[in-house]
Amino acid sequence: MSQSLKTEELDKILKHSSSIDSYLEEFNFVFKEMAFKEYMESLLVKYGVRVADIVRNTEIDRTYAYQIVAGNRRASRDKLLQIALAVTGDLEEVQTLLKVSGYSPLYTKVKRDAIIKYGIEKNHSLSQINQLLFEYYEKPLFEKE
């Protein structure tokens, strides 16, 4: 029952809670605390993608890519977007990967983020999204060598 509460309803409950402890205990289900490594591994399995595929599709250094995927190194938001787009074209999964990594999700009111979201929604490749960013004078996700 309480799992179907909307964010607005949870905001009201939080505002009127007598303590943060009681709120956190009652609504613990709300917090998606899946670690980056676990979520990344689930995506790799779901799509049958190997780290070697990510390296080939992103031009991220092999060692660095393996360290990121293993959870041993924290990638920048742009590197993480490259990896996400090399694994999945699903916007919700990209947004979740950003969130479990501690980054803000793509936000439509930010021009650069809107371009990236548009590209994902239109099933553009990483290179096509990078080209769109370049065309609209936004920082590309990666520099072409």
Give the domain CATH number at 82.
1.10.260
Average pLDDT score over residue span 46-66: 93
Whether residue 23 is contained in a domain is answered as no
Higher pLDDT, 24 or 133: 133
What is the amino acid identity at position 131?
Q
Q: Which DSSP symbol is given to 54?
A: H
Q: Region 27-49: what's the mean pLDDT?
A: 77
115/100 Cα distance (integer angstroms) = 22
Position 20 scores a pLDDT of 83
CA-CA-CA-CA dihedral for 131, 104, 43, 144, to nearest 10? 20
Residue 77 located in a structural domain: yes
Domain housing 58: 36-135
**How confident is the model at residue 3, as a pLDDT?**
47
41-52 per-position pLDDT tens digit = 999 999 999 999
28 part of a folded domain: no
Total domains in the fold of the chain: 1
Q: Kindly state whether residue 119 falls inside one of the protein's structural domains.
A: yes
